[in-house]
Structure 1
Amino acid sequence: MQSLDILEQLIAFPSVVGQDNGAIVDFISDYLQSHGAKVSILPGPEGDRANLFATLGPADVPGYILSGHMDVVPAGESDWTSSPFQLRRDGELLYGRGTSDMKGFLAAVLAAVPTIAAMRLTRPIHIAFSYDEEAGCRGVPHMIARLPELCAAPLGAIIGEPSEMRAIRAHKGKAAARLTITGRTGHSSRPDLGLNAIHAMAGMLSAAVDAAAGLQAGPLEEVFEPPYSSLQAGTLRGGQAVNIVPDFCEAEFEARAISGVDPASLLEPVRLAAEALAAKGFGVDWAPMSAYPALSLPEQAPLSALLADLTGIEPLAAVSYGTEAGLYQRAGIDAIICGPGHIGCAHKANEYILTSELAACQGMIEALAHHCL
């Protein structure tokens, strides 16, 4: 089956993050098993979502992981010019939700499977497809934890996020948390009788602004743009009406960390400031939402050299967006990013990928298989 045909079928699954993904998992599992792959479906704790892990070749010797996620962001934008869950071709352009991020990579992997299955591999090719990456890499940690029972320690993992088929060695880590402040409502003419949750949140926003400003002084890592860690408030909501003392305010905070910095630690100034509100009578709930570590693969790493050989392009030092790669590296598996599509096309209406990128990705995967003979 051609990668274009497979991509058309994958796009037709509205596998939006946070929802049941059984249909797309079953489709991929059936396809892989029809070509002789050993497939394990790994349900997550949510009960309606699963990761998928498959092996071509001998599982008891070190090999390589091809890693991607099956979920996509919602497609609620009003300016789609065609159905987001129906692949539309316009010359070289293939439109649909997830074409770049990242069902294009999944399609290229699956299209290469018949060729790989016909080879006598001495090292295995593993396929690791996760769920809920778009919610902060929530699914893949459960799969990584199971790897010791599924295969020998891998030599490396290629994470197929959109990179225009140029390998990438580093990205920042991320942590996000939701802060909910509960006060006491009342008439705005008697603010002394209430506890204004929005005013209390203002202090937390100031703490975030001050902490973010301090991060600009370093430590620095010049391969990133910007070269320092960052912190921001991303959402804010609260209150009912202008003449009511608001008893509720909620904000979401996000930190992005350079290599060697724990992204969750960057949120500590806000969390500690929030804890102090309890002494003033406010209810405070600090709820971590997601976290993943930075990726930092050395330039001289064998996996970096391998990707340079497979793609014919020297790997890029770093990008600003995050992936599951840092989680593989934290588990002791070298990881690198390389996949079809452009990150600038992701998460917006009329997302697309080029047919030439699909072909190039399939070629890279088949070249990796030849390396494993």
Structure 2
Amino acid sequence: MTAEEILARLVAFASVVGQPNEAIVEWIANYAEGCGAKVTILPGPEGDRANLFATIGPAEVPGFILSGHMDVVPAGEPGWTTNPFTLRAEGERLYGRGTSDMKGFLACVLAALPALAARPLARPIHLAFSYDEEAGCRGVRHLIEALPQLCTKPQGCIVGEPSGMRAIRSHKGKAAARIEIRGRSGHSSRPDQGLNAIHAMAAVLTEAVQSAEALKAGPLDASFAPPYSSLQIGVIGGGQALNIIPDFCAAEIEARAIAGVSPATLLAPIQAATAALTAQGFEVSWDLLSEYPALSLATEAPLASLLRDLTGQEPLAAVSYGTEAGLYQAAGIEAIICGPGDIARAHRPDEYIEIGEMAACLRMVEDLGKRLHC
């Protein structure tokens, strides 16, 4: 099958984040096994989702991982001009949810399997396809934990997030949390008899805003835009009516950290502010929604040199969005980002990938196989 044909099959699976993914995992497993790959399906603790790991070549020697996620964000935006889960070709563009982020990369990797299997590889190429990346890289953590039982420690990992086929050495880390405050309702004419959850949240949000401003002073890393770690309040809700003391308020806050800074530590002052509310009679919950570390690969790293050779371009220093690459690096495996598509097209109506981008990705994977040839 061509990469375009495989992409059409993958897009047809509405593998939305947080939902069961048995159908797409089964299809990929059957296809990869048919190409000669050794496939392992790794169910997650949720019970209805799984990662997939496949190997071409000798698993007992160090090789390379090609990493991508099978899940996509929902496609409920009104701006779609056709069914988002039916691939549509128009000129050089292929439209559909997940084409850029990141089923286009998966399709190229799978399309390359027959050529990879046809050559005796001295070192293996592994496929590591995860679930629920869009919910904070949840699935890949279980896959990484299982790697010692699946293969010898790999030399490196290429994460195929959309980058226009330009390798990227670094990205920011992220941590996100949901805060819920419960107070006591009552008539608004007697605020002394209630506990206003929105007023209590205001103190927490003030701390968040002040923390966000303080981060602008540094530490700084000029390779990122902006060059400092950041923090923002993204969601807030609470209250029932104007004349009722609100007994509930919730907010979601995220922090994005430059390399060398722990994302979770950026949220610590906000968490401390919520904890202080318990002394005032409020019930407070703090739920860490997601957390993954920054990626930082040195310019002279062997993996950066390899991608420079494979793509013919100097890797970019950094991007501000996050990927699973930081988790691979934290596990002691060099990682870098390089994939077809454009992150600017992701998470929006009429997402698309260009045929030329997929052709370039297919060449990269096949050229990697040539380098590992016996």
Deviations 1:277-297 (A, max 9, x none): 000000000000000000000
One-letter amino acid of the structure 2 residue matched with residue 188 of structure 1: S
User: 1:192, 1:94 → 2: CA distance?
Assistant: 61
Deviations 1:149-181 (A, max 9, x none): 100010000000000000000000000000000
The answer to whether residue 349 in structure 2 is matched with residue 354 in structure 1 is no
One-letter amino acid of the structure 2 residue matched with residue 117 of structure 1: A
> Which residue is 1:5 aligned to?
5
> Which residue is 1:187 aligned to?
187
Deviations 1:204-233 (A, max 9, x none): 110000111111111011100011001111
**Structural mapping, 1:259-278, within 5 Å:** 259-278=259-278
Identify unmatched segments of 5+ residues in structure 2. none
User: 1:367, 1:310 → 2: CA distance?
Assistant: 7
Deviations 1:319-361 (A, max 9, x none): 0110000000000000000000000000000000000001100
User: 1:35, 1:103 → 2: CA distance?
Assistant: 19
> Which residue is 1:223 aligned to?
223
One-letter amino acid of the structure 2 residue matched with residue 147 of structure 1: L
Tell me the TM-score normalised to structure 2 length: 0.99
- Residue 93 (structure 1) shift: 0.6
Residue 162 of structure 1 aligns to a residue in which SS? coil
One-letter amino acid of the structure 2 residue matched with residue 146 of structure 1: A
> Which residue is 1:75 aligned to?
75
User: 2:35, 2:74 → 1: CA distance?
Assistant: 32
User: 2:222, 2:139 → 1: CA distance?
Assistant: 31
Deviations 1:106-135 (A, max 9, x none): 000000000001010000000000000000
- Residue 36 (structure 1) shift: 1.1
Q: CA RMSD of the aligned region, Å? A: 0.4
User: 1:291, 1:235 → 2: CA distance?
Assistant: 17
> Which residue is 1:170 aligned to?
170
> Which residue is 2:245 aligned to?
245
User: 1:239, 1:261 → 2: CA distance?
Assistant: 36
User: 1:313, 1:118 → 2: CA distance?
Assistant: 28
User: 1:217, 1:371 → 2: CA distance?
Assistant: 45
User: 1:320, 1:343 → 2: CA distance?
Assistant: 11
The answer to whether residue 325 in structure 2 is matched with residue 325 in structure 1 is yes
Deviations 1:43-76 (A, max 9, x none): 0000000000000000000000000000000000
One-letter amino acid of the structure 2 residue matched with residue 5 of structure 1: E
> Which residue is 1:23 aligned to?
23
> Which residue is 1:66 aligned to?
66
User: 2:54, 2:112 → 1: CA distance?
Assistant: 14
Residue 27 of structure 1 aligns to a residue in which SS? helix
User: 1:6, 1:256 → 2: CA distance?
Assistant: 35
User: 1:36, 1:29 → 2: CA distance?
Assistant: 11
- Residue 35 (structure 1) shift: 1.0
Residue 250 of structure 1 aligns to a residue in which SS? strand
User: 1:241, 1:136 → 2: CA distance?
Assistant: 34
> Which residue is 1:233 aligned to?
233
One-letter amino acid of the structure 2 residue matched with residue 329 of structure 1: Q
> Which residue is 2:150 aligned to?
150
> Which residue is 2:105 aligned to?
105
Runs (4+) of structure 1 exceeding 4 A deviation are none
> Which residue is 1:299 aligned to?
299
User: 1:160, 1:129 → 2: CA distance?
Assistant: 10
Residue 138 of structure 2 aligns to a residue in which SS? coil
One-letter amino acid of the structure 2 residue matched with residue 100 of structure 1: S
User: 2:88, 2:194 → 1: CA distance?
Assistant: 56
User: 1:351, 1:7 → 2: CA distance?
Assistant: 13
> Which residue is 1:369 aligned to?
369
One-letter amino acid of the structure 2 residue matched with residue 255 of structure 1: A
Residue 189 of structure 1 aligns to a residue in which SS? coil
One-letter amino acid of the structure 2 residue matched with residue 206 of structure 1: T
Deviations 1:180-216 (A, max 9, x none): 0000000111111000000100001100001111111
User: 2:16, 2:222 → 1: CA distance?
Assistant: 35
User: 1:29, 1:176 → 2: CA distance?
Assistant: 33
The sequence identity of aligned pairs, in percent, is: 68
User: 1:149, 1:119 → 2: CA distance?
Assistant: 25
User: 2:153, 2:97 → 1: CA distance?
Assistant: 34
Tell me the TM-score normalised to structure 1 length: 1.00
User: 2:6, 2:122 → 1: CA distance?
Assistant: 27
Residue 148 of structure 1 aligns to a residue in which SS? helix
